[in-house]
Structure formats: C-alpha cells, structure tokens
Structure 1
C-alpha cells in the first residue's frame, strides 16, 4: 500500500527543472517574442509606408473644412438705372434637432439657474423668435391673423420685404423637437443684426447667410425679368436665360479645424476670392412697362378677352421699351398660388405665335411699292370676292365691284384688293419678302422660350397658300415679330432685330454696351416713307365714312399716326377649320408717322367687347392710349400738319 501511495507523490528532486528544460522554454519565449517583434515591425512598415499616406490624407480631410464665399448675384436694371431685381443679404436661423437635447441638458447641468431644461428651453426659443425678429406669432391670435391676411392680401405691387410677415411658434417648436432630424431651417429672411441677437441669446441655434432676391416692382415686368428659386437658380424669364452670368463665381478657402472646433492658426490655404455676378441694364422703361401692363389688365377685363399683350419698340434702335401682358404673376409671392389664381409666368409676346390677320398686309403693301407694281393713288376695281387656285376669298363686308385706291385697299382692309396686288408680285417675290421681314426666324432676343413662328417653306406651298398668306392667315408669328415688321417700316426700311439688353456691368463696375444687331435692308427709305403715309389712312376719320379707315377715331390731336388693324380667325380645335366666332384681334402702329419714335404691337385673344367696354372688338383704342402716354412722357414734338385727307375711294 505504501509503495503504491509513494508512486503518486513527486520528490523535491523530481520538481526541480533541469537545465535542458529551461533552455527549451527560453528558446520558445524568444521565438514567440521574435514573432511578435516581426509582426509589430511589419505593422509599423505597413502603416508608415503603405497605408500611411492614405491615413494621413483621411485625417487631413477630417479636420479640413472648405469655407465658401458666396458670390453676389448680379442686379437687373431698367434703361434709367431703376432696380428691377437685386440681391439683399439676410440670414436663416437653423438648428440641429438630433443633438439639441444633449446640448441643452449639458448646459442645464452646468448652469441650471441660467439654462432651463430641454422642454422649457425649446418652448422659450419658439416663443421668443417672433419677438426678437419683430414679427407676429401666427399662433398667438389666429382670429386677428385672419383679419390681417384679409387686409394685406389686396396690394398688387408690394414693397420690398426684408423679413417674414409672421412666424408660427408651433411650427418652430415642432422642428426643434424633431429629434430624428439632423437639420432644420426655423426661419428665413432675417435681418443680420437680429440674427446675431438670436444666436447670442440662444447659442444652440445657427445663423447662416442667405441672399434674398428682391423684386421691388412686384408683377411689373415679371414676365420679362423672371424669378429665381430657393436654390438661387433662375426659374424663368431673364433670370433663367442669363443665370450663369448673373450668378457669378463663388470664392472660398480651406482651413484645418482642431478637435475643439477652433481653426488651426496658419492652416488657411487655397484662397480664391468670389467674383460677383454680372449686372444687366435692360432696354425696358420701368414707367412705361408699368403703364402698359396696367392698360392691358384693364383692357382684358373690359373686353372679356382671354389674354392681352403688347410690345413697344424704339423705332430706330429696335430696343424693347415695354413687353407686357395681362395678369402677370408677382414674383414676391408663392408661384403655385399665383398660378392657381389665374396669373401667368409665361412671356406670350415671345413664346406664343398666332395668326396676325390684316396687320400683315403691310408686307404686301411694302413689296408692291418697292417693286413699282402700284402707286398709292392707283385706282383698283375691287370685286367682292376673288378666286385663287380654287380658293374663294371675300372681303369682310359684302359689296359689288368698287373703286379703291391702293391706299384705300389697306385703309379699308380689303382682302380682295390685297390679293390682287399680291398676284402682281408673284409667289416667289412674296416668299422672299416674308424672309426679309424676319418671319419664320427667331429674333434671338435673349429671352427663354422664344418661338420662331411658322411660315410655310416655298416648296411646301399648296394651291391655297398664296390665297391666305398676304391677308395674314396660314402663318403664325409672335407679337414681337409682328411689331418688328412695323419697326422695319418705321426705321426707313431697315430691320433691326429687337433686343432687351442695353449694357452689362461687370463686378468691378465696368459698363459695356451690348452689341448692336446688324441691320437688314428690306425696302428703300422712300418706300418706307410712302407706306407709312399710306397707312395713316387706317386711322383717318371722315364724316361721310368713305374716306374713313378701319381704325377711325383713334388719332391723337397734333400727331400723325400710322398703323393697321387686324382680325384673324382662330382654328377651331374640334373641327380643324377656321372658327366664325373666335378671333385674334391685333393692331400694330407707329407714332409719330412723319418722324417715328415708337412702334406698338397689340394682341387680344377672343375679346367680346372693345378695350374700353364699348361695342366692337378693335385694339386701336388701346394703341391710342399707349401712344399718347409715350409721346407725352418723352416730350415728342408735334407733327407737321398733313394737308387734306388721303384718298381711299375716288
């Protein structure tokens, strides 16, 4: 038994480690230590030499911040320097709701007497913001707010708004407590000084720069000027067509930020200054634009028309002095609500072509005089109808064969007499004249959405094409193109493409005049003078009626005016044929006729009454109103009196 127990017990000699065992253990330790050192050395080499540059760059990127210095958007001015659109610096108050509770709770722990707890603090901010900014809390008195909106919604042309009209404290509180959101804008358009006061009192809020685009004239000229969106990009109008140059080029710099959020001294680099956007001086006359726009609003309401638009050009330069339409949207308001209210953001004068009707007869008159196929006083025997290539065309009034002078053909607006003269010209010559007058071609006026109109190409003319074109049907043109025809006649036969830009102003203040389009000779100065005199017959009045034109009674005492009325049948979309009840009513004229200063084109879409609410559907009274205002504003000298009357019917 004792021997067995003895085998389970080791003696002290047996417990002693032999030198060989010690050496083996030391060798193993050295081996594993060497492996560890090799791993560390490899890791160090890998970090320092292989991935070190990438890690260094990543660390650099984490602490590098690029600060953007936003360029200021260029202004848009009228021809007299009045501001049509400009940028005002303001602030947006923003917050990071996801981290707001943690920030407030930490401040509350450190300064419990000065910083309330989260719920109380957010409630305090929501209530205090409207007071500091100086606007109404929309939730404070909803009944009073309802009355306020009813009284302030009426003004048509609001002044520049430098701050929001009201703030909802409930909406602010909701944003502050939305802990799933990492970023919220509490209020926009805040005065910089008031924004500074807000963040001074509530450091958990952030004041961010916000450039506000101002349109101080409301809806006046908005169809031309356009509007930018919340992202600062032009949405329509001139703001869109010249967006890149108006925006300018943002500047900026790079700096390194330490862990405490403070910029590391000496780390600023890659500094490049902002280049503010180019400013534009347009050819528009703000006062004239306002007057014309108001006249169109009244004319549309009085006549019951679907639309009304007008263009006023400088007779010699082709510059657009006014380009207006009724019911233009106000860019200071919500565009969605403006459109819902029936207002428009389009510019129909350049984008909506239409058949001009008899206004286009001046092309036939100019070509006939230029080619010598007739004279103003030639007497034509004009039947009640004419057949051309199987198409029968009649005058607007029934009559047997009557004698009209060439002047009378246009003064009375005889379709038959016009086609008789067009036949003398021939189809090829007439097609050439359409091209010379710029029809079927874009004017390149630097406004978006311009239509080139529609003129059938000469090889595509069918039998009835030549029976329609000389009387203003079978082709479509924009109001700008239509007005441009008369500008050619006003400018002694030279067509100058209309333009809207007068000059550009660089960010350093350098002003550069816009290039003048190359003129196109259409007819001779003698022909243009003769045609202007002939078309004075349109506005001539005569007690007997025989020598009265289609626009009789719309002259201006002391001035000689010339122009042409137009009535164009619209195409019925259901039948595809010309309607007998739907019309474009047009007028284009020159004032004064003897020394042209202004060219005015007008289009009314389906009026049911006159522009003053009277009977008839002529646009001539509106031409008279606009011309009288323009002549008075620019102090245009009176015309030399004409001796006698023009002979329309012998």
Structure 2
C-alpha cells in the first residue's frame, strides 16, 4: 500500500487566501461598475420598468348661444379604485388630532359618499389584488369628498365627459360626441378644429405593489384646452319654438316639423328648432332621421311658398306688376296632365296680388309663363336654390334644381308653384330674407366665431351678399305678401294685431313612398316677416306629412306664436302705419 504524503498546510492556506482576495477584487470591481460606471444606465432601466406615461386629456371647448349661455360643456367624472393589498387601518388627522380608522370605518365612510353599503365596499376591497374598481363616473363633488378622507389605498382615474344643458332643444344643431370623445354630428363635428384642445402628457412611477407613487408625477406637456364656439341661436326663443313644434307634431300626427327664425338685416339664425329632435346627452336612442338637422339636411318640395319667387321674378324682369291681370280657371290641361287649384271655383279675374292671396296655381302659371324658363332658373339660383349655404353644415343638402335645359313640360310649369323642385328649410327662409331685406340675400349665419382662452374671437368666413332683385321689386313683393296676410283664406290666420305682417302659405304634395308620383300626404308651410315697414325677422314653419290636416292652416299657429315671441323678446315696437290699398281682382 502506498500512502499519500500530507500537503503543506501553510501553502494551502495561502492558496485559499489568494483565491478569496481575487474573488473580492472581482466583486469589488463589479460593485464599482454597478454603482458608479453603470449606475446611470441601470437607473434608467429601473425607472423605465417603474414608469408609466399617461395622456392628460384636454378639455373640449364650450358651445354657447348668442348671450353666452352654455349649450355644451366638458366635465371630468372619476372612476374610484382601490388597491386591496394595501388596505389596512390608517392614521388620519381629524380636527387637528391623529385618529386611527379601522378598515371597517373606512369602508363605511366610502360607502356613504358613493351611495353604496359598507358590505358592498368591504367585498370589493377584500383580497390581495392591486386593483379593484369601487365606482365608475363619479361626480367631481363625490370625488372631492373621497379625497378629503385621505385614505392612501384609494386612487382615481379622471374620465372626460360631455354634457348638454339644453338636451333636445338644441341637439339637432349642436350635435354630439361619442364616448371616445370623437365628434359625430352638428356643430361639434363642424367646429372640431376650434373645440378640440391639445392633450398633454404625464409620467409617474409605480412601486413594487403596482400602486402609483404620489410624489413621482412629472408633467412633460401641459394639456391645452379647446376654444369656445359662439352660435347665433337665442336659447330662450329656441326653447319656446321647440316646445310649440312638439305639440304640433303630436296634434297633427306629423312626421316632423321645423321652425327657422332669421334676423333680416344680419342673416343670423336665431332659431333652428325641430321636432322630434335628438337629445345630445342620449343620442343613441334617437332614430337616424332625428339625429340630423332637417333644417339643413332634408329637402322637400315647398309648394306655394315658391309663388313669391315667381311673382318677384315677374316684377324684376319687367314682365309684370302687382296689378297684372289674369283670368284664372279652376283647371288647366296640358299634354302631360292637368293642373288645378286646391278648391273648385269658377274662372276668377285676379291681379298678380290676387293670385298670391288666393294661392292660385293656374293663375301663377298663366302669368308666369311669359318668363323664359332659363330666366326663371337663373333667378331661382340667385335666390339660393340648388346649392348649399355657406354655413356648410355637416351633411347639408343642396336641394334639387335641375338646369332649365333639362326641364320637361311638367317641371317648366309646376316649378312656378313649388313642385318639381326641392329645397331645404334654411334655403326657403333665406329666399324670403332677401325679399324682406330690400332684395339683398345674405348668407345665413349660425356661428358667430371661435373664441380662445384670451378672449380673442376668430370670425367664420361667410359668403358675400347677393342683390337678387331690386329694392323696388322687393317693396312691391312685400306689399303683395301683406295682402295675403290681411285677406287670404289661410294667410289671415297668420296676422298679428300689433304688427304689420307679410307672408305666404305653401301646401305641397309629397312623393309617394314607392317613388312614383305623389301620395295623399303633404308638406305644409308658412313663411313670413314683420314688421312690414321695417322687417326685423323672417319666420319659416314647415310641418311634414301631417295626417289630421292637409292645408297650411296647420303651420300658421306656430308661425304667429314664434313671430310674436321674437318681436316681444327683442323689443320691436308695434306698427304705427297701415298698408296701402292694392287691387286683388278686376
């Protein structure tokens, strides 16, 4: 057997000590590298793992009416959350003294603010998770009350929401935004460039428990809130008109109704009401038809309100006067079919004024046919038909006015009394604005401007005025329309005792649902202005497909009500002059 020779103990000790020293140097070097050489990069990695970047939503600007009343406003609501893993008794200051609140007491205090039971809160904060939602979309008042509890394991997520003070009263014009804040309709969509702000950005750190470290927040970019859009609407007059329309739609079992009030000398839209209308706060329940603005987006054949345009064209081209005579039969026959008046009558000897007063279809054709088709088409274009207004409302329709060269024999004749062409309610209102404004048609104005946080207002571009007819023609046309209100079978129901009123009714057949020919329902209208001696307002009423009435007698009650409210609201003094005599028959 061979025995191993024992080694030298001292040598082994020196070897082991040397190995330890080498390892110590290596560890020291690595420690130096971590703490000094690589410290900055390691800190960045660590911070990146702890850091969270969040968008700071900018507040969307307000939409206000002409007097600054808020129609649309952005507010924050808050989701209330807890970190169950951190739930424990806490020490808080109450009346300057430290008080220990048990979990049970904290849950009870939270429950009272949120309108829940203590047991419901305790169930939500049970466990060891890092997130539990206690309530969603809590008001700012409740949020502040919770903050005052000073409970460290509560945290909050602000949620931006849009509220509409007037609901359906202005919904069809103001529009609405979706839950994601994206504008979907109306002024909200049209003026998004003004209303939308610029979002900011915030970075904060989370602890190992996943909870935000309160003192770690750094705002990299402040949010810039949106600007304010000021409309020309009068909120109070809009409300009165809207309520009246709802009552009329219900009474007449109509599909819808609209009311437009125009300030004659400025073109400002003071009222753009309709029923039924979308409630911007709950637009999801509205029908597709009610979610739009029919005043701008819906076209219809206007009927006899177009006779005013034909009469004005006659006078302006020198082919007629208010006293031009005609024999108007009950019916005229053409190769393409007959045209008749609304009621049977023997041949009547009427002047142009009488034709408007009696709303004679045969009379306006016999007088108007002396105007070349192209000339009538050109005047209709000058009056604003066949093209969108400069408001450029989202989804706005242009109506339908085919070129005169495309008119068939029927269109050539029936367009004189508002069939075979289609218009929007705003186009029809502005045509009458031109007559009331000495023949000058203004572009309608819905938006006064965009006002930034410093109070600087940027005006919206608007089309140039158009001299459609001469001042003399406008004056003569106004005189004829006043006789319609004074002596017309329907027109007299639109009169006001305190002010001189001019206007014209319209009853148009509505195309059948199958698109072929006309059905039995109508669109009934009345459009007028007052006071005649110095017109301030045009009021245009349309009621579409009423089922309990088939004449414009359905439109005059709303016309009278809204016109009188406007005259009183704006302090227009009663008329002190009388109309001049004007021959209506011979």
Q: TM-score range by the shorter chain?
A: 0.7 to 0.9
TM-superposed deviation, 1:346: 2.8
Secondary structure of 2:248 counterpart: helix
- Is 2:505 aligned against 1:600? no
Deviation larger for 308-317 or 393-402:
393-402
Deviation larger for 70-79 or 635-644:
635-644
Q: Is the 8 A contact 1:446 1:499 kept in 2?
A: no
Larger Rg, first or second structure (1 or 2): 1
- Is 2:326 aligned against 1:339? no
Aligned residue-pair number = 559
- Is 2:577 aligned against 1:641? yes
TM-superposed deviation, 1:220: 2.3
Q: Distance in 1 between matches of 2:320 and 2:127?
A: 82
Q: Is the 8 A contact 2:78 2:143 kept in 1?
A: no
- Is 2:248 aligned against 1:312? no
- The runs of 5 or more residues in structure 1 that have no matched partner are 1-8, 18-25, 138-166, 542-547
2:155 is aligned, of 197, 202, 206, to 206
**1:21-63 superposed Cα distances (whole Å, 9 cap, x missing partner):** xxxxx9xxx9xx9xxx9xx99xx9xxx99xx999887555334
TM-superposed deviation, 1:598: 0.4
1:470-481 equivalent positions in 2, closer than 5 A:
470-481=416-427
**1:422-463 superposed Cα distances (whole Å, 9 cap, x missing partner):** 321111111112211121211132532221122223343223
Q: Is the 8 A contact 2:526 2:559 kept in 1?
A: yes
TM-superposed deviation, 1:493: 1.4
TM-superposed deviation, 1:578: 0.5
**1:298-353 superposed Cα distances (whole Å, 9 cap, x missing partner):** 22222232211111111111110001012334344x444x538x994332211121
Q: Is the 8 A contact 2:438 2:470 kept in 1?
A: yes
Distance change in 2, residues 1:393/1:91 (3 Å): closer
**1:85-124 superposed Cα distances (whole Å, 9 cap, x missing partner):** 2234x4413326xx63x3337999xxxx9544xxx79xx7
Q: Distance in 1 between matches of 2:351 and 2:410?
A: 26
Match of 2:522 in 1: 583
Secondary structure of 1:249 counterpart: coil
Distance change in 2, residues 1:378/1:458 (3 Å): closer
1:503-582 equivalent positions in 2, closer than 5 A:
503-541=449-487, 548-574=488-514, 576-579=516-519, 581-582=520-521
Secondary structure of 1:648 counterpart: coil
1:407 is aligned, of 353, 372, 397, to 353
Match of 1:103 in 2: 86
Distance change in 2, residues 1:65/1:524 (3 Å): same
Distance change in 2, residues 1:643/1:228 (3 Å): closer
- Is 2:556 aligned against 1:624? no
TM-superposed deviation, 1:647: 2.3
Secondary structure of 1:552 counterpart: helix
1:349-428 equivalent positions in 2, closer than 5 A:
349-388=295-334, 390-428=336-374
Deviation larger for 489-498 or 297-306:
297-306
Deviation larger for 199-208 or 372-381:
199-208
Q: Is the 8 A contact 1:233 1:243 kept in 2?
A: no
Distance change in 2, residues 1:409/1:169 (3 Å): farther
- Is 2:285 aligned against 1:299? no
**1:537-583 superposed Cα distances (whole Å, 9 cap, x missing partner):** 22123xxxxxx35312331113221111011111111462201x211
Secondary structure of 1:477 counterpart: coil
TM-superposed deviation, 1:418: 1.4
TM-superposed deviation, 1:256: 6.6
Q: Is the 8 A contact 1:587 1:619 kept in 2?
A: yes
Secondary structure of 2:87 counterpart: helix
Match of 2:186 in 1: 237
Q: Distance in 2 between matches of 1:205 and 1:403?
A: 86
TM-superposed deviation, 1:174: 7.5
Match of 1:73 in 2: 60
Secondary structure of 1:316 counterpart: coil
Distance change in 2, residues 1:181/1:201 (3 Å): closer
Q: Is the 8 A contact 1:275 1:507 kept in 2?
A: no
Q: Distance in 1 between matches of 2:152 and 2:50?
A: 23
Q: Distance in 2 between matches of 1:222 and 1:575?
A: 30
Q: Distance in 2 between matches of 1:231 and 1:589?
A: 43
Q: Is the 8 A contact 1:565 1:618 kept in 2?
A: no
**1:458-480 superposed Cα distances (whole Å, 9 cap, x missing partner):** 34322322122221111221111
Match of 2:375 in 1: 429
1:21-170 equivalent positions in 2, closer than 5 A:
59=46, 61-66=48-53, 68-88=55-75, 90-95=76-81, 100=84, 102-104=85-87, 115-116=102-103, 125=107, 128-133=109-114, 137=115
TM-superposed deviation, 1:531: 0.8
Match of 1:484 in 2: 430
Q: Is the 8 A contact 1:196 1:207 kept in 2?
A: no
Distance change in 2, residues 1:589/1:177 (3 Å): farther
Secondary structure of 1:553 counterpart: helix
Q: Is the 8 A contact 2:194 2:450 kept in 1?
A: no
Q: Is the 8 A contact 1:440 1:452 kept in 2?
A: yes
Q: Distance in 1 between matches of 2:356 and 2:247?
A: 29
**1:486-543 superposed Cα distances (whole Å, 9 cap, x missing partner):** 11111111211112111321122223444443112211111111111111122123xx
Secondary structure of 1:503 counterpart: strand
Q: Distance in 2 between matches of 1:324 and 1:364?
A: 28
Q: Is the 8 A contact 2:305 2:418 kept in 1?
A: yes
Deviation larger for 437-446 or 384-393:
384-393
Q: What TM-score, normalized by structure 1, do the two folds share?
A: 0.76
1:227 is aligned, of 176, 195, 198, to 176
Q: Distance in 2 between matches of 1:262 and 1:305?
A: 61
Q: What TM-score, normalized by structure 2, do the two folds share?
A: 0.83
TM-superposed deviation, 1:641: 2.7
- The runs of 5 or more residues in structure 2 that have no matched partner are 7-14, 92-99
Match of 1:23 in 2: none
Q: Is the 8 A contact 1:562 1:593 kept in 2?
A: yes
Distance change in 2, residues 1:178/1:430 (3 Å): farther
Q: Distance in 2 between matches of 1:181 and 1:329?
A: 42
Deviation larger for 279-288 or 176-185:
176-185
